[in-house]
Amino acid sequence: MKRGNEIELQIESLAFGGRGVARFRDFVIFVNQALPGDLVRAKIFKKKKKHAEARVIELIKASPDRIDPPCPYFGACGGCKIQSLSYDKQLYYKRQQVMDSLVRIGNFQDVEVLEALPSPDRIYYRNKMEFSFCNRRWLLDSEIAQKEQVEDRDFALGLHAAGFFDKVVDLKSCLLQSEESGRIVNHTRKYCLDHGLTPYNVRAHTGDFRFLMIREGKNTGGRMINIVTRNYQPQIVEPLAMSLMQAFPDTTSIVNNVTDNMGNVAFGDKEYLLYGESTIDEQLGENRFRISANSFFQTNSVQTERLYDLVKELCEFDGTELVYDLYAGTGSIGIFISDAVRQVIGFELIESCVRDARANADLNHVQNCEFVTADLMNLASYIPTKEKQPDVMIIDPPRAGMHPKTVQAVLDIAPRRIIHVSCNPATLSRDLEILCADRYRLNYVQPVDMFPHTGHVEVVVRLDRL
């Protein structure tokens, strides 16, 4: 098998991330835009020692689980990669991915994995979107077929084309956040084109406008528009903010984040308030959370509340517990469970998140939560005295999982119960193998669909000390 070969493949399963999985002789082949049950002709574009990657060039026979995707940009846009798979099968394969990771990476053989918890909202579920400005617009197949000159090819505002960091699909609508969000994108695009404002060129690191970030309080109605630029130029962003304010008067906040960083992330080094408040609020259960432009907050508000309810239920609190909340972020889990426990101590590396967590505790008049700035690689230095021995530990690490030193510190602290929330079944399984070697038993595994139509899945597990 060589790069450029075309082969016929039967797609057997779905990999984490949303690619179809086929086998050809001794090779595993990951196939873009292929679904389990598809028979395809595919072209190899990358070959490694034990696997290859391919793209579909002909759909010979469609899977019975294929549906017509509702988004007109499906296939070109890099988001919602499995929107053409029926939702019940999306949940089925997300559960399978969790099971496969636990067996293949964690070496668990007899663990029960529950059916994936579906998202109540399957469109317009995100409370945050980052739309990219770009000087290289991706042409849709329909535009190419017209064989006519396409206007404004050097300006796009939307999401990255699948597989490209330097090209953007110019979206006139998007099913991820809200209809109003789409209108804000279209208004901003028209304003920029009418006034000759320049989009960012990721290769040359030129151009003014980098991102349009929109945050919504799904349970409060708040809205923040964050215009991310390469330089601070009030003479061009303030009139745009005024135009947005007039067109969308129920907007809570308009800010300008500025970053000259070469990285393609919508995180500002400096922030300027252009209109209204500097934050918006979101409500989860009985608690209200203040969110700034650069705050981390779970992006599916409705499903997040169900996730946190599950965490609380699995902990089986009786009101006497001391809880350690590792990777506490802005304190949302710790504050959410605070009414059921004696005390929560949250540990978080990023100082701004710790400040937000403390402010959120004050906002909700929560007095039994303490948030500590701590490098969790050195969690061993926070090993408590007997009086501070935690009964329960809640762990919600980033996608890379826990550092080995953190895993060992968790074993040394040895709480009687651990609730682990993970957005990556592979790193979760890696860490669970160590935790469950001889100290803990894995008693509960619940996949949670936080991101419908994508290949990603959240997992909540419970470990009980032997």
- Return the active site residues: 423
**Separation between Cα atoms, residue 435 and residue 410, nearest integer Å:** 8
Determine which helix (DSSP H) or strand (DSSP E) holds 245, and give its type and residue range: helix 234-247
Q: 3-class SS at 64?
A: coil
**Measured at the alpha carbon of residue 242, what is the angle toward residues 237 and 243, in degrees to the nearest 5?**
95
Q: 3-class SS at 134?
A: strand
Helices (H), 83-163: 87-104, 141-146
Phi-psi label, residue 151: left if phi above 0, alpha if psi -120 to 50, beta otherwise: beta
The answer to whether residues 37 and 9 touch, using CB atoms and an 8 Å cutoff, is: no
Determine which helix (DSSP H) or strand (DSSP E) holds 294, and give its type and residue range: none
Count CA atoms closer than 13 A to 354's CA, side-chain side: 14
Determine which helix (DSSP H) or strand (DSSP E) holds 440, and give its type and residue range: strand 440-448
**Separation between Cα atoms, residue 431 and residue 406, nearest integer Å:** 10
Report CA torsion sign: 7, 8, 12, 18.
Answer: positive
Beta bridge partners of 29: 22, 52
Q: Exposure of 198 by Cβ count < 10 A (0-12 exposed, 13-18 middle, 19+ buried)?
A: middle
